[in-house]
Structure 1
Amino acid sequence: MVVDHASGELSLGISGGRSAAGALVRRIVVVGGGITGLTCALACVRAGAHVEVIEAHASATRLPAHIDVVPNLLRDLARLGVAQACVQRGFAYSGLSVVDERGDEGFRLPTPSLAGPQLPPAVGIALADLLDLLEGAAVRSSVDVHRGCTVNRVDSESGRVIAEDGRVWEADLVLIAAGAGSPLASALLGPARPGVLRHAWWHALLPRPPWLDRSTWMAGSVGRRLLLVPISMSRAGVAVVSTEEASGPTDGYALTRQLKSWGSFPRRIAAAIDPSVPVVLHRVTSWLRDPPWHRGAVLCVGASAHVIAPPFGQSAAQDLEDAVVLGELAAAGLDRPRLLRQFTERRSERVRCLHELTERAALWTTQPEPATDLLQLAGEIDRLVATPA
């Protein structure tokens, strides 16, 4: 089948193996150089594979957004050997403070330490800084990164990847890490069924308020939600939740106007944002492909297979779990059929559970209902991710 493009840190061991059919997994091509693609590349090269990453953008994206490195995400970054660098580049914190529109704290949720005693429970970091760290670690580990290269065909039977400029790669396993809505993923597995979530999340960076030393979630009146996270001693990231119906300008002036129409706490945040600097308005949905997420020599990972709702920081965390599980299976010397079968067994049900829980939590942010207990949902998510994938 040919797929067409319509538009304390642990080290993984090295080993090799052969099935009766001789389907070795020694050459891996990753399509997509975002968080999922880079961490998959890093995990697999540390397991002994030769890995190449193909990324359409000629240079790294510098979106004004942050990543909330929650405990299970930090644990998996540690397993890839980059957690300490994230801590040094970002802002370590413990605890989630839940406040109202005046900024008065209603309660505080503890942050479990899952990455070991030598690391903090959680970290805030700029998205651009995390991507820089991951790409640097991948390149130092001998991953070949090809930027400015668009893939327009993948042959799932042979593992051949063909770029728009005519370059061809041969692989034992091709990973589609091109994000949600990837034409390559849809051509391979068919269109994904859309989820029920329809939100818009504004992202911006601002000077860190001196009092901000932990992740802070503002739960105001219906439709007024925001998350404020310290990402360095001098900067913070803010994510403001709106409905998908939000229309009109999508610049910093529009964001600050919205915040100024809310309570005193978001008005203080609006005053700290420079409206002339770039912001991002990200349309958010959630969906999950039915397993298996592979066909022939091609496997979809990250948002190409599952889009997890933003609350509780599990979207990026599940992308990292895909990477770590792949690395472990590659290091175990499994042939391709067994690797893909075990990947499906370890990932599909866990992701399904996280998808269900986080989607319920995300819907609550704009449509609160008495039947939804947010604290109970948070506890269920924490218990599920406390054990590594």
Structure 2
Amino acid sequence: MTPPRSPRTVLVIGGGAAGNAVTILLRRAGITVDLIEAKDDWNATAGSGITLQGNALRVLRALGVWEEVEKSGFGFDAVGITAPDGTVLHVAEDLRTGGDDLPATVGMQRPRLQRVLIDAVRASGARVRLGVRAELLEQSAGEPGVTVRFSDGGESRYDLVIAADGLGSTTRAAIGITDRPQPTGMAIWRIAAPRPASVTRTDLAYGGPAYIAGYCPTGPDTLYAYVVEANRDRATIPAGSYADEMRALAEHYGGHWPEITTHITDPAQVNYTWFDRMLVEGSWHRGRVVLVGDAAHCCPPTLAQGAALSLEDALVLAELLTAADAAGEDWDDALLQRYYERRITRVRPVVEASVQIGQWQLDGDRDADVPGLMGRTMALLRELP
């Protein structure tokens, strides 16, 4: 008689959107999951706002948190294009990439989304350790699995390690993947602010002193605003001047911007980051360590697809792992390669389109077919991942 197989164990490194999502889905299938996050606060207060398009909402519904997201965020179905003075030039209906029963887009305060996912991870029964890093990953060819040594002195062995530790993933480097994020030439200033009652969709202004000036409603009385410029050496921008720097750009825009600009006063509330691009090719795993989310790919937010692609990674990987587990099949190279092959054909065109849209702006290409490229790319995303 064959002895029963021991329950499989998974370590998730990183408690952002992808790491939290894959944890919730694996726990739902009864798989034992440990999640470690390097930050003591679990990123619960980081960031201003986030734009979640329909294909992201579809995953959040699969996680069981859609009702909370819907209640906490602000849904809308159109995007406005304005002149720098605020004149509305065009309003386009957004494609509902998550299906007709979900909004095209939900804007949300990023810390609120993180709190919703944290609560779902806690409720799943996963073991969570904060302020902990994986310092050493050991694999041997003849013995599938990974022995992990932690920064708190502990050591455990897992059937699989999922690296969801973001853009600067130390796990990616530790398993010998040499890809690194590369700057695209643009940077973005972001801030959360009160929402004027008449702001009920994203509006984008092209031209003026910034490449893009935009805002997105994130709740009943909040929005986040952003301006995009050419990237600069961050070492030359004192953190204490962040509000002044953003305000100097924003004050050139009309429409709702004068009201928004009055709230750009606290440098600690302003976030400045470069746009990066990266796409790991060939495979997203080495042995029994596999990458998800920004650890595997990143792109400028010109299509607002970063979080959505990360959540989709989590969904697809969890689907493959849980199906194999239920069938008593190995979590082997072939399975992890199938995960990569399903994702790369969807992720690559989004990364390439996001970068191209930014490059057209950097080049000042007035003949570029930005709406056409956006429409073609978003149409791809309406299909299931």
Q: Which runs of 5+ in 1 are unaligned?
A: 1-17
Aligned CA distance change for structure 1 residues 376 and 28 (closer, same or farther; 3 Å): same
Corresponding residue number in structure 2 for 1:200 = 187
Corresponding residue number in structure 2 for 1:263 = 253
Corresponding residue number in structure 2 for 1:13 = none
Q: Which runs of 5+ in 2 are unaligned?
A: none
1:249 partner amino acid: P
1:122 partner amino acid: T
Deviation at 1:68, TM superposition (A): 0.3
Q: Which residues in structure 2 correspond to 1:181-196 (within 5 Å)?
A: 181-192=168-179, 194-195=181-182
Corresponding residue number in structure 2 for 1:59 = 41
Are 2:57 and 1:74 equivalent residues in the alignment?
Answer: yes
Aligned CA distance change for structure 1 residues 256 and 156 (closer, same or farther; 3 Å): farther
Question: Among residues 312, 318, 334, which one is paired with 1:327 in the alignment?
Answer: 318
For 2:379 and 2:260, how far apart are their aligned partners in 1? 33
C-alpha contact 2:213 2:250 (8 A) present in aligned 1? no
Question: Among residues 46, 68, 86, which one is paired with 1:103 in the alignment?
Answer: 86
Q: Which residues in structure 2 correspond to 1:32-181 (within 5 Å)?
A: 32-61=14-43, 62-116=45-99, 118-157=101-140, 158-181=145-168
User: Residues 363-382 of structure 1, C-alpha deviation per residue, up to 9 Å, x if partnerless?
Assistant: 23443314521101111111
For 1:202 and 1:387, how far apart are their aligned partners in 2? 32
Deviation at 1:195, TM superposition (A): 4.1
For 1:47 and 1:243, how far apart are their aligned partners in 2? 46
SS class of match (2:262): helix
User: Residues 247-271 of structure 1, C-alpha deviation per residue, up to 9 Å, x if partnerless?
Assistant: 42342222112222x2324444312
Tell me the number of residue pairs that the alignment of Structure 1 and Structure 2 aligns.
368
SS class of match (1:218): strand
Aligned CA distance change for structure 1 residues 98 and 156 (closer, same or farther; 3 Å): farther
C-alpha contact 1:84 1:119 (8 A) present in aligned 2? no
Aligned CA distance change for structure 1 residues 295 and 276 (closer, same or farther; 3 Å): closer
For 2:278 and 2:139, how far apart are their aligned partners in 1? 23
C-alpha contact 1:37 1:177 (8 A) present in aligned 2? yes
RMSD: 2.2
Corresponding residue number in structure 2 for 1:8 = none
1:128 partner amino acid: P
Following TM superposition, the consecutive aligned residue runs of length 4 or more in structure 1 with deviations greater than 6 angstroms are: 22-25
1:245 partner amino acid: R
Identity %: 27
Bigger RCO (CA 8 Å, 6+ sep): 1
Question: Among residues 358, 362, 386, which one is paired with 2:358 in the alignment?
Answer: 362
C-alpha contact 2:162 2:289 (8 A) present in aligned 1? yes
Q: TM-score if structure 2 supplies the norm length?
A: 0.89
